[in-house]
Amino acid sequence: MQNILSMSSGHATAHLQSTPNSALLLRPLATGRGLWRCNARFRTSRPFKQIVKVEAHSKDSQSLSRRQALLLGAGTLAASNFATPDIVHAETKAVTASGIKSAETVQLGQSGLQISPVGVGAWSWGDRTGYWGYGNEYQKDDNLEAYKAVVGNGISFIDTSEVYGFGLSEEFLQDFMKQTGTQPVIATKFAPLPWRIREQNVVEACKKSLKRLGISKLGLYMIHWPGFITNGWCNDAFVQGLADCQQQGLTQAVGVSNFNLGRVKTAQQILKDRGTSLASNQVQYSLLYRAPEKNGVKQACEEGGTSLIAYSPLAQGLLTGKFTESNLPKGPRGATINKDRVAEVQPLLGLMRDIGSAHGGKTPGQVAINWTICKGAVPIPGAKSARQAKEAAGLSTSQAGLRTTIHSSALLSCQALSVSVVT
């Protein structure tokens, strides 16, 4: 895979340090990963703080709307008579990508699972809630082309869930893998629906996901969100269920999603007691949503050997720069990404364009993804089309395969911005 914003020369990579005068000083860091290492912290002016607050609020609202949509359509999953694949007990063979050439891989937590530094989220593939516009703005064929671009450009990690499209995302993946003769490392998720209260429910759901995916073993299996209301007391049992899945050979690694500090530490201990480890915690994390840095989640993951997987690293498209006052997202996203927010984010996008231009014509979206990698996370941007998938892989539609290097120390002058920055 083409390294996103590769700025390395040997083992000297660039460190992006923000300074009060809005100049960006690139300094070398000793690292062996060959990716652009940065540690910029943007303290935003009031408008940006409002964006962060709105994003935090909208995340909760989106979670609730997804849950409501899930409850409305849960009968689809509950009533579906999916055949259960045979369990392969005590399978120890490692899950690896097939038919995909990745220039670089990283290990997920302490699991031994090797994945590309960037993954792709398949939430939009076959989405039937109307959130992403499937059936109107894009079709299954567009998702297939996105998949081909994903694996063709070295991305070997794809994230899905049993509730994405109420199972359709997983079914699409089976079709796409068969059509292309490839198999990336697949991560999918268990949904703690209100009637699920036992650890055995996790195992049963995992088997059904495997059937829809048409594979015998997952790379990563996660709890999608913590149980709440009717099953808020079942989270420990769900984590035990993850360990059961792993011990039965259904998945190589196990993880969680949207877990707070306390739940992360509890899950880490439960799995340690079961002789395994928590490979990942998938949370919202981007330049505009920095909560994991402040609420202790990121630190707990680092200290416990758990990888942070970042969903919405592009703030659902806001950080790509594609939205304007005359080009706003349709449907539910239009309620949160509106004219005011698009206007408020322009100073940050201007800075990101300057950085991208100085490094081979990279896009704001690629700068945003690379920032997330530099923070030690594995970003999983969504990709509905081949163009979006290529951009996630670090390729420009007009400069495919472009790789750039930068001198170990350089000073870039940037336009004055209406934001203050600190290291």
Distance CA 413, CA 57 (A): 35
Half-sphere exposure of 154 (CA within 13 A, CB side): 19
**What tokens were used for 389?**
């998938």
- Tell me, what amino acid is at 369? I
Which amino acid, one-letter code, is at 393? A
Three-class SS of 365-395: HHHHHHHHHHCCEEECCECCCHHHHHHHCCC
Q: Is 147 a catalytic residue?
A: no
Q: Whose structure tokens read 């509950």?
A: 78
3-class state of residue 180 by DSSP: helix
Q: Give Cα 172 distance to the centre of its chain.
A: 19
User: 417, 360, 365: which is closest to 390 by C-alpha?
Assistant: 365
Instruction: List C-alpha distances in Å: 331 to 129, 131, 328, 334.
Output: 10, 6, 10, 6
3-state DSSP helix/strand/coil % of the chain, to nearest 5: 40, 20, 40
Check 131, 134, 138, 164 and give the catalytic one.
Answer: 164
State how far the Cα of 23 lies from the Cα of 415, in Å rounded to an integer: 8
Query: Mind telling me the catalytic residues?
Result: 164
